[in-house]
A and B are shown apart, each in its own frame.
Chain A
């Protein structure tokens, strides 16, 4: 029996290490080949170069796409966080009839095939006579981001001590004053975390942007166009590496913020997802 137990406790860490390797292998290959002199991504590496990175700022189409993505990302993250605040607050603070159905609909984009959400939205927008633009991309991205915002914000709002707000009201503060001076400071880290997470999602989102974009491509749509040309691959890998580093920094920051939010409201770590 002890032999079995030893095997059971020993194979798991090995498996965990292998699994992490499997998860990171494709991601770590991007930076490796982006520094390689050969345009064809294969081993053995031919030499170290920064030329793919140097060519990036000289590509106007890329810079335009990056700017479009930035605009869309900022807009989508702000709207999705505002909608997320309403929903997360309502879900954690109140109990009301139909709550399950309502939150089910709000969270639905998380479990629906994205292409179906995208084509339905496309169909309606075209029927309404709206022309496709960055605005329609924002509409789609908000839909996709809201479930993530709600999840992040709920973990920040849960366990929030309601008596603090009641105390504030008892001391004569208005509802808005209570929100601004008591609630907001407590949940600010969760809000920042939600902004960062939805910005990251919007920055990377492809399907919605692919269907809903007009003449201005976002970064993933631009990358999609470039993937057809084998010669453009190293440039795309270099761009991908920069995006990878950017997302990593944003998400680390978001995670720190979310943990701070959890600690502030619950005085203890240990709530995930």
Chain B
């Protein structure tokens, strides 16, 4: 081995080219990831810090007054309009994340336990709708739920209702249905991954020891797939709180969410600090809500065992 190494000078050249600094695994790894890291640092971390800074400043017509103030947060938390929007957004994201995960779990279970050799095909089938134009998917729900829409004409055709109902579109429920549809794939995949990791021999052992399918599911499969359920909840809950398109297209007056207010502050109203405070508040509260949800679920899982 040594002889071979000595007999090949290019090898030495290669090994020493990087210098002692790049020899270590640590330095090589960091050097390799640094372009991506810097990109995220400059275009994500720094901008978020800038937004946080702005939230403590004041808009003075075209300029920004950089005196520290909590006025924007006072407005965000006490003005009824923003408080209502925040509550509604949090409520919608909470409901959407739970409904999506509850609807997604059986599908993930089905694919993992009964998918057989077609697992990949099933997963592909589930991800396809998610890849199609988001705007048009939301638009399509508007067509389905609308006054002259598919649901109304379908129900009338079946004789369930006599005249078109306006109850389906332009409200919170329409927003919830649309978002549940939009985020389905994001919930299914993490649950599926954690179900795949469930050791099947544990289930056999439980059967041998006399557990029925329901007990077996509650005592083994469900607890072991909890990490997937929790990450699915987070993946759906946090981004949906800031959804802009769905409330605009199907929400109507009663379905407006906080993102619409944020957009207004950065657009027409042109009050960046207030927009920044709304963004920061939304982020903080949704993170807290996510944290509490995780805590409660973990506590419940421990209690159940």
Interface residues, chain A, CB within 8 Å of chain B? 1, 4-5, 8-9, 12-13, 15-16, 19-20, 22-27, 29-30, 33, 40-44, 82-84, 86-87, 89-91, 93-99, 102-103, 105-106, 108-117, 119-124, 127, 139-140, 142-143, 146, 150, 169-170, 172-175, 200, 204, 206-207, 210-211, 220, 223-224, 227, 236-237, 240, 243-244, 247-248, 251-252, 255, 259, 269, 272-273
User: Which of the listed residues A113, A117, A204 has the most CB atoms from chain B within 10 Å of its own CB?
Assistant: A113
A123 and B262 form a contact (CB under 8 A): no
Chain B contacts for A273, CB-based, 8 A? 189, 193
The CA-CA distance from A40 to B149 in the complex, in Å, is 9
Report B253 CB to chain A, min CB distance, Å.
17
A26 and B131 form a contact (CB under 8 A): no
Chain B contacts for A146, CB-based, 8 A? 36, 39-40
Chain A contacts for B243, CB-based, 8 A? 113, 115
The chain A residue sitting closest to B265, CB to CB, is A119
Chain B contacts for A223, CB-based, 8 A? 133, 135-136
A94 and B28 form a contact (CB under 8 A): yes
A255 and B131 form a contact (CB under 8 A): no
Mark B43-80 against chain A: 1 for CB-CB distance below 8 A, else 0.
11111101100100000000000000000000000000
Q: How many interface contacts (CB-CB < 8 Å) are there between A and B?
A: 271
Chain A contacts for B135, CB-based, 8 A? 206, 220, 223-224, 227
The CA-CA distance from A24 to B263 in the complex, in Å, is 31
Chain A contacts for B291, CB-based, 8 A? none
The CA-CA distance from A13 to B110 in the complex, in Å, is 7
B272 and A19 form a contact (CB under 8 A): no
Chain A contacts for B154, CB-based, 8 A? 43
B242 and A272 form a contact (CB under 8 A): no
A143 and B48 form a contact (CB under 8 A): no
A-contacting residues, B215-262, CB 8 Å: 234-235, 238-245, 249, 259, 262
Chain A contacts for B33, CB-based, 8 A? 86-87, 90-91, 99, 102-103, 106
- Chain B residues bordering chain A, tally (CB within 8 A): 97
A-contacting residues, B119-164, CB 8 Å: 119-120, 123-129, 131-137, 139-141, 143-144, 148-150, 153-154, 157
Q: Which 4 A-B pairs have CB atoms at the shortest separation, nearest pair first?
A: A113-B242, A94-B29, A120-B47, A26-B140
Report B96 CB to chain A, min CB distance, Å.
13
B139 and A236 form a contact (CB under 8 A): yes
The CA-CA distance from A116 to B279 in the complex, in Å, is 6
A-contacting residues, B187-226, CB 8 Å: 189, 192-193, 196, 212-214
The chain A residue sitting closest to B17, CB to CB, is A175
Knowing A26-B181, A113-B283 are in contact, say whether A16-B107 is a contact too (CB < 8 A): yes
A142 and B103 form a contact (CB under 8 A): no
The CA-CA distance from A23 to B43 in the complex, in Å, is 34
**Of the residues A42, A124, A204, contact of B47 by C-beta under 8 Å:** A124
The chain B residue sitting closest to A252, CB to CB, is B124
Between-chain CB contacts (< 8 Å), 24 pairs: A1-B213, A5-B213, A19-B107, A23-B126, A27-B137, A30-B136, A40-B148, A43-B157, A83-B39, A84-B36, A87-B37, A99-B33, A112-B238, A112-B283, A115-B243, A115-B244, A122-B266, A123-B54, A139-B43, A140-B43, A142-B39, A172-B10, A175-B14, A248-B128
**Of the residues A82, A123, A169, A236, contact of B272 by C-beta under 8 Å:** A123
The chain B residue sitting closest to A126, CB to CB, is B272
Q: State the main secondary structure of chain B at its contact with A.
A: helix
Report A224 CB to chain B, min CB distance, Å.
6
Chain A contacts for B272, CB-based, 8 A? 123
Known: A26-B141, A114-B244, A116-B48. 10 other contacts (CB 8 A): A12-B110, A86-B34, A95-B25, A113-B240, A117-B44, A119-B279, A120-B48, A121-B43, A143-B40, A252-B124
A108 and B137 form a contact (CB under 8 A): no
B276 and A96 form a contact (CB under 8 A): no
Knowing A15-B107, A16-B110, A146-B40 are in contact, say whether A42-B29 is a contact too (CB < 8 A): no
Chain A contacts for B32, CB-based, 8 A? 86, 89-90, 93-94
Chain A contacts for B82, CB-based, 8 A? none
Report A177 CB to chain B, min CB distance, Å.
9
A113 and B259 form a contact (CB under 8 A): yes
Chain B contacts for A207, CB-based, 8 A? 244-245
**Of the residues B131, B150, B242, contact of A251 by C-beta under 8 Å:** B131
Chain A contacts for B137, CB-based, 8 A? 26-27
B263 and A115 form a contact (CB under 8 A): yes
Knowing A4-B213, A143-B43 are in contact, say whether A127-B50 is a contact too (CB < 8 A): yes
